[in-house]
Structure formats: structure tokens, C-alpha cells
């Protein structure tokens, strides 16, 4: 019975059905299953979807739907996790967005979905995000990582602004910063002294793991 | 068709919806329509020959537009269109639009599938970043110098006054004005001062683009005013401000729509449906008269892979058969100048567009446009000559499909290790603005291979 509930919960996640995923997460707890085990099943399912997405065997809406459903299901389980530690569920919070002057959405959204699939708690600020908004949100939620995307060359200066402002506010040591986007490069990340550069969403998860994954 | 003011009213009064919900609804509805109309991607037909497919995709696209509308990012509301408005636009779309002045007046006109009239040519680096000043002028001159090129598509200055160009800053306004001035200087340098410019590339903000549109050295009414629609089926006040200005100024709006294979549109089938819907929406919302469509692969960031070529061909056939709207593929390649791969990528893009009924050819965004100075005029020569040879020699869809499949085998396993090639300075003589022998030799060998494959390029 417990196995069947877990399988149904995983199917609901894969289909992006948040309400069903929540329902089966509750049932799994009611069956007496270890909440750590439930979280591990959830994250494993979404990670598999993320891997399929990286090969484009599945598409962005599949990944987004699964990520959102997982987030809802985890909210149900969270109270039962107090005092327990899951190696799958990272506590690291990420603030994500496309910097000022840039309205490109897809690349940043893919990175967000892949980070969620990897177990991160992601706050997506959207597109055309003010530099100060990244900083304020990161302070507010006590984020570990700021991920800032720029697809256009005219938006890259705002990534540099972000690094400067963090330094001037003496917050540089508090947050790790990862940059990406079509206009950027490792050389640019080095120049502005960002902590990491990711050329694509798969690499973004690896870089995030290196920078804050252990937290 | 609703007035622009009615469009703005709808942006304020349409259904409220968080953006994520709109994105996921677009995916769901596209998937549903792909299934309902039985639309299927066939890897063996990068140029599909099924006569009913374009019509099915066209109907699915209109259904999608009816159910989705277009999302306004500022108000978080959807702008919906009536059946009558959609029907009117598809039936009364402009079938010919003129750009340029005097001896450089060129009309872009509707073309049919397998049309023998060659498509028009709007050639440039499609926004590739180029070093500012003298190099930028000579780079743009390399496009203006190509005799088949009828309109110049702007590249992006990499810096301005030695400084990074910052979006929405005074420097962006200055860069945009310099960009237009430099392209005009390039056209004058090669004896074609009246050529139309299509831009701007460096200034995407409303203030920069509006500032660059003036009859005193800026973008003229007879130039192309580039206005992009946000992915997927979205608009915003910045874009609509550009539209408002350009309408009152009297310029022709060239729209640009990008959608991703693997993104919210889904697979190749969904990509074709969404990209077919976009020009209809852009005509109503953005008053566009000509349309650039970029059906792009999410991982490869090009339009030259099999899935993107298929979607591009379907979009072209769908509009050619049903609306006569003036469309082009916004060709993006993985490889850069002075490589065999870039020429082959251009060839597949051009053959697919030409035989499928695109009204004009536009590009080439080489090396995905992100590598400074990696774009040259020879890519546009290739595009123009392949397009002309394909049309003039009555290449049919099934022949084109066979040829494109053979060319695809030369590069489709190289996307992950693409050659970035050489910079403009390395593969052009900067005094004569002509390709250096290495680049010309590569092109000559490519032409011979294309002749052997059945495209009698001269």
C-alpha cells in the first residue's frame, strides 16, 4: 500500500499535478512513511525529469510542472521534517533573475527549474530585475546563492554592478554569485569576480553544487 | 483590426493571470492542439512534403491565438482577439512592402511554395557584436557590398566610446545613433547610400530605439524598424511604446519572434504552431508588415538543426498558402566565419526557406552572434546565391528535402564542438573589404559541392 502511494505521488509529480502530489504526500505520511524517504523519492523523480530535459527528451513545461508540484508536496511534508536532515533536500536558497534591461526569460527559467529539480529552494525574481532587488531579496530570505543572467551585451554591466554593490555593502562574503546567459563567458565572470559561471542549465546545477551544495 | 488604443485597453482589462500560469497554459494548449490536428514531426523530412500539414498547423495556430491571446508583462493580463479580427488580418495582410530609397528601392513580396521568384535579401550579422568604429563600418560595408543584398540588417557595436553599452543608459542612446550613422557611412562607402537599414541592434530599450528614428541621420521612414515580441506570445509597454512611435513616425515595422524547441512550445510540432501564430499576433498588436521568425533549438541556439528546419519550413508553407504574410527565417548558425560548417548551415536554412515560400531571407547570425567580430559579408553572399539558385532552378520540396538531408550529415553531429572560425579582421582584407583567399577558397569548394548535390549555384 505504502509503495503504491509513493508510486502515485511520483506519477503526479511527473505529470505536473500539484494537487494530486500534495494529496499523495499526505497519504504517504499517514501511512507512516519516513518523511525523509518521501522527500528523497520526490527529489529523485524531479531529478530524473531534469536529466531527461537536459537531453530534450522532455520539455520545459514538463520540468516546470514537476518542479512546482514537488514544491507543493514538500510544503505538506515540511512540518514532519523538523529536526531531521535529508541529504536530498538542500537547505540552500537561491535568488534568481535576469538583470536590468534584459527581458529574456527562457534560459533563466530553465536554470531555475533545474535548480529546483536538484533540490534547491529557488526564488525567481523574473526578468529585467534591478540590481538592488537581487540584493534585498537575498538578504530577506537569507539566500546562499544569487544567480544573475544576461543574454544581451547591454545588460552585462548590470552583473558587474551587482558584484560592486555587494562589495560596497560588505555583503560579498555572505552570498555566492553565479552568472550566466548568452552574452557572458568565464572570462567575464573572472573579470567581474563572480564566484561561478554556467554556460547552460546543466552546468548551473554543477556550479551551484560546488558553490553552496554542501550547505 | 483593433486600434492601438483598444489594444492598450485590453492590456488593462483582460483576464489576470500570473506569468507562470500563462506559460504552462501555452504549453498545455499547444500540446492539445498538436494532438487534435494530428501534427507529427518526421526526422526524415526536415522539409516536409505533406500538403495537408501546413494547413493543419495554420488552423492549430489560429486556435491557439484564440484561446491564449497575448500576455502583457506589465499588467499580467491577456490581450484577446476576436475571430473577426484574426480572420481579417489573415485575409488582408500586406503582400508587398517597399524598403529603401531611389535606386535602392526594393519590394518584399509574397512568394508561393516552390516559387521560381527568388526571395528578397535582408543581409547582415543579425545583431552579432562587432568592434566599434572603423571595424564596425568596414564590417557593415562587407554586407552592403554584396550585390544580391537589398537591405542591411544591423550588427551590434560591442562597445561605445570604449565603454560597455549599458541598457537604458545614455550610452545606449548614443550607441544606437552611432550604429545607424556607421551603417549609413558603410553603405555610402560602397556606393549604395540609399540602401535600407533594418535596426536597431544595440538599443533594445524604447528610448534608444525611438531616439534613433529620425530623418536627420537616423533610421528613416523607408528603413526597417525592428521590434521584437517576447517569447512566448508576450508583449510589454516598452515594445508597445516603440510601436506607438513607429506608427506615428510612419516607418515599416519588422517584427522578430523567437521560440525555442524544448521551451514552452514543446517539440518541433509545437514550435511550428506557436511560430505560425506569432506573425498574426504581431500584425494585430505590433502593426508589423514584415516578420522574422526564429525557431531555435534550446541547447544548440541555432536554426540549422533538423527540428528547427522542419518547423521553419512548416511555418513558411503555412503562411504562404494561407495568408501571404511577408516572412523570413532569422537564420542563426552554430559555426562561425571561414568554416565549411557555417556555409552548410546557411545552405540548409536558405534552401528550406526558399522552397517553402518565405518572402525574404534574413541573417546570418553566425556563431550564435555572441562572439565579437565573428560575422562577415560572405555569409550573406552565400545566402543570396543559394536562395537564387534554389528558386530559379525550380527545386521542388522533395528534392530540397533530399539535398538538405545530405548537407545535414556534414554538420549535425558537430554542434557540441562547433568551430567558431575566424574574426572579420582575420578573414577579410580591410583595405579592399574583400574576403581573403582562404575564405574564398572555402566558399568555392562549398559551391562545387552544392552544384554536385543539385543546387546549381553560380
Contact, A97 vs A133, CB < 8 A?
Answer: yes
Contact partners, residue B115, CB within 8 Å, separation at least 6 = B357, B391
The beta strands (E) that lie in B211-339 are given as 224-229, 234-235, 252-261, 290-297, 326-332
pLDDT band with cut points at 50, 70 and 90 for residue A87: low
What are the sequence ranges of the domains in chain B?
A: 96-453
pLDDT band with cut points at 50, 70 and 90 for residue A90: low
Distance CA A117, CA A209 (A): 12
pLDDT at position A109 over 90:
no
The count of CB pairs under 8 A between chains A and B is: 85
Min Cα separation A28/chain B (Å): 28
Instruction: DSSP letter for A209, please.
Output: I
Q: What mean pLDDT do residues A17-45 have? A: 91
Which residues of chain A have a CB within 8 Å of the CB of B24? 16, 61, 64-65
Chain region(s) in chain A for CATH 1.10.1240.10:
2-81
Contact partners, residue A133, CB within 8 Å, separation at least 6 = A97, A125
- 3-state class of B195 per DSSP? coil
Q: For B28, name the nearest residue in chain A, comparing CA atoms only.
A: A61
| Cβ separation A101–B301 shorter than 8 A | no
B298–A contact, CB cutoff 8 A: yes
Contact partners, residue B88, CB within 8 Å, separation at least 6 = B1
B241–A contact, CB cutoff 8 A: no
Which residues of chain B have a CB within 8 Å of the CB of A157? 164-167
Contact, A110 vs A203, CB < 8 A?
Answer: no
Blockwise average pLDDT, block size 10, chain B, 458 residues: 95 94 94 98 97 98 98 96 96 96 98 98 95 98 98 96 93 96 98 96 88 92 94 93 96 95 96 98 96 94 97 98 97 97 98 98 90 96 98 97 98 95 98 98 98 93
ipTM of the complex: 0.85
Grid coordinates of B365: 547570425
Residue A103, Ramachandran bin (φ over 0: left; ψ between -120 and 50: alpha; else beta): alpha
Q: What mean pLDDT do residues A129-134 have? A: 95
Which residues of chain A have a CB within 8 Å of the CB of B236? 103
Nearest to A60 among B73, B264, B370 (CB): B264
pLDDT band with cut points at 50, 70 and 90 for residue A215: very low
Give B428's strand partners.
B435
Interface test with B, best of A52, A59, A96 (most B CBs within 10 A): A59
Distance CA B182, CA B44 (A): 45
CATH class of segment(s) B96-453: alpha beta
Distance CA B348, CA B406 (A): 10
Which run of H or of E encompasses B47?
A: none
Nearest to A59 among B166, B267, B370 (CB): B267
Cis peptide, bond prior to residue A85, ω within 30 of zero = no
Instruction: DSSP letter for B319, please.
Output: H
Measured at the CA of B253, the angle between CA B248 and CA B259, to 5 degrees, comes to 135
CATH class of segment(s) A93-213: alpha beta
Of A92, A50, A46, A71, which Cα lies nearest the Cα of A210? A92
Which run of H or of E encompasses B168?
A: none
CATH class of segment(s) A2-81: mainly alpha
Grid coordinates of A96: 534568481
pLDDT band with cut points at 50, 70 and 90 for residue A1: low
Give B293's strand partners.
B257, B329
Distance CA A126, CA A103 (A): 9
The pLDDT score that the predictor gives to residue A202 is: 85
| Cβ separation A102–B167 shorter than 8 A | yes
pLDDT at position A210 over 80:
yes
Contact, B441 vs B449, CB < 8 A?
Answer: no
- 3-state class of B77 per DSSP? strand
B261–A contact, CB cutoff 8 A: yes
B370–A contact, CB cutoff 8 A: yes
Chain region(s) in chain A for CATH 3.40.50.280:
93-213
Percent share of chain B, pLDDT over 70:
100
Q: For A68, name the nearest residue in chain B, comparing CA atoms only.
A: B20
Maximum Cα–Cα distance across chain B: 61
Of A128, A109, A188, which Cα lies nearest the Cα of B370? A188
Distance CA B70, CA B227 (A): 16
The pLDDT score that the predictor gives to residue A114 is: 87
- Cα B245 to its chain centre, rounded Å, is 22
The burial class, CB within 10 Å (0-12 / 13-18 / 19+), for B345 is buried
Convert the pLDDT of each residue in A51-67 to its tens digit.
899 899 999 989 888 98
Contact, B37 vs B59, CB < 8 A?
Answer: yes
Contact, A131 vs A99, CB < 8 A?
Answer: yes
In the block, cell 505536473 appears at: A16
Q: For A158, name the nearest residue in chain B, comparing CA atoms only.
A: B166
Amino acid at each position: 500500500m505504502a509503495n503504491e502511494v509513493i508510486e502515485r505521488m511520483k506519477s503526479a509529480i511527473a505529470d505536473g499535478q500539484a494537487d494530486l502530489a500534495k494529496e499523495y504526500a499526505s497519504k504517504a505520511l499517514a501511512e507512516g512513511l519516513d518523511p525523509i524517504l518521501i522527500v528523497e523519492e520526490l527529489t529523485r523523480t524531479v531529478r530524473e525529469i531534469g536529466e531527461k530535459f537536459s537531453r530534450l527528451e522532455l520539455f520545459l513545461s514538463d520540468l516546470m510542472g514537476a518542479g512546482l508540484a514537488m514544491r507543493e508536496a514538500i510544503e505538506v511534508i515540511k512540518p514532519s521534517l523538523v529536526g531531521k536532515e535529508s541529504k536530498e533536500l538542500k537547505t540552500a536558497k537561491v535568488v534568481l533573475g535576469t538583470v536590468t534591461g534584459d527581458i529574456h526569460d527562457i534560459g533563466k527559467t530553465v536554470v531555475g527549474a533545474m535548480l529546483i529539480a536538484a533540490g534547491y529552494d529557488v526564488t525567481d525574481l523574473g526578468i529585467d530585475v534591478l540590481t538592488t532587488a537581487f540584493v534585498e531579496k537575498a538578504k530577506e530570505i537569507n539566500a546562499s546563492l544569487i544567480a544573475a543572467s544576461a543574454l544581451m551585451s547591454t545588460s552585462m554591466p548590470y552583473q558587474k554592478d551587482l558584484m560592486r554593490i555587494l562589495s560596497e555593502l560588505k555583503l560579498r562574503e555572505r552570498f555566492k554569485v553565479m552568472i550566466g546567459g548568452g552574452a557572458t563567458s568565464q572570462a567575464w565572470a573572472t573579470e567581474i569576480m563572480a564566484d561561478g559561471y554556467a554556460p547552460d542549465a546543466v552546468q548551473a546545477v554543477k556550479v551551484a553544487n560546488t558553490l553552496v551544495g554542501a550547505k | 483590426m483593433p486600434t492601438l488604443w483598444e489594444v492598450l485597453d485590453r492590456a488593462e482589462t483582460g483576464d489576470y493571470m500570473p506569468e507562470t500560469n500563462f506559460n504552462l497554459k501555452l504549453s498545455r494548449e499547444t500540446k492539445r492542439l498538436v494532438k487534435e490536428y494530428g501534427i507529427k514531426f518526421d526526422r526524415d523530412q526536415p522539409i516536409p512534403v505533406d500538403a495537408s500539414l501546413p494547413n493543419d498547423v495554420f488552423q492549430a495556430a489560429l486556435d491557439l491565438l484564440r484561446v491564449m491571446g497575448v500576455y502583457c508583462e506589465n499588467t499580467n493580463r491577456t490581450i484577446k482577439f476576436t475571430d473577426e479580427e484574426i480572420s481579417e488580418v489573415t485575409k488582408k495582410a500586406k503582400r508587398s512592402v517597399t524598403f529603401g530609397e531611389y535606386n535602392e528601392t526594393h519590394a518584399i513580396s509574397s512568394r508561393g511554395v516552390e516559387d521560381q521568384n527568388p526571395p528578397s535579401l535582408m543581409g547582415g550579422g543579425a545583431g552579432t557584436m562587432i568592434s566599434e568604429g572603423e571595424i564596425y563600418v568596414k564590417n557593415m560595408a562587407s554586407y552592403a557590398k554584396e550585390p544580391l543584398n537589398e537591405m542591411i540588417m544591423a550588427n551590434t557595436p560591442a562597445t561605445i566610446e570604449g565603454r560597455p553599452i549599458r541598457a537604458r543608459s545614455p550610452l545606449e542612446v548614443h550607441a544606437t545613433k552611432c550604429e545607424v550613422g556607421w551603417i549609413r557611412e558603410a553603405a555610402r562607402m560602397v556606393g549604395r547610400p540609399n540602401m535600407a537599414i533594418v535596426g536597431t541592434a544595440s538599443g533594445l530599450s524604447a528610448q534608444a530605439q525611438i531616439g534613433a528614428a529620425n530623418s536627420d541621420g537616423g533610421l528613416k521612414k523607408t528603413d526597417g524598424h525592428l521590434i521584437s515580441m517576447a517569447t512566448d506570445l508576450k508583449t510589454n509597454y516598452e515594445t508597445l511604446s516603440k510601436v506607438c512611435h513607429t506608427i506615428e513616425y510612419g516607418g515599416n515595422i519588422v517584427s522578430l519572434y523567437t521560440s525555442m524547441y524544448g521551451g514552452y512550445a514543446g517539440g518541433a510540432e509545437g514550435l511550428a504552431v506557436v511560430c505560425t501564430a506569432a506573425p498574426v499576433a504581431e500584425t494585430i498588436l505590433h502593426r508589423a508588415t514584415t516578420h522574422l521568425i526564429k525557431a531555435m533549438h534550446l541547447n544548440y541556439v541555432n536554426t540549422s538543426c533538423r527540428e528547427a528546419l522542419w518547423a521553419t519550413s512548416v511555418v513558411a508553407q503555412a503562411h504562404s498558402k494561407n495568408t501571404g504574410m511577408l516572412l523570413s527565417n532569422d537564420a542563426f548558425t552554430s559555426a562561425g566565419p571561414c568554416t565549411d560548417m557555417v556555409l552548410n548551415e546557411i545552405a540548409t536554412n536558405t534552401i528550406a526557406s526558399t522552397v517553402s515560400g518565405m518572402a525574404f531571407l534574413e541573417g546570418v547570425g553566425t556563431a550564435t552572434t555572441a562572439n565579437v567580430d565573428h560575422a562577415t559579408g560572405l555569409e550573406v553572399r552565400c545566402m543570396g546565391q543559394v536562395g537564387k539558385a534554389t528558386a530559379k532552378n525550380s527545386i521542388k520540396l522533395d528534392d530540397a528535402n533530399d539535398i538538405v538531408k545530405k548537407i545535414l550529415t556534414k554538420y549535425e553531429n558537430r554542434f557540441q564542438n562547433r568551430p567558431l572560425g575566424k574574426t572579420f579582421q582575420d578573414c577579410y582584407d580591410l583595405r579592399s573589404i574583400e574576403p581573403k583567399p582562404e575564405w574564398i577558397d572555402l566558399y568555392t569548394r562549398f559551391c562545387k559541392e552544392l552544384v554536385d548535390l543539385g543546387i546549381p549555384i553560380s
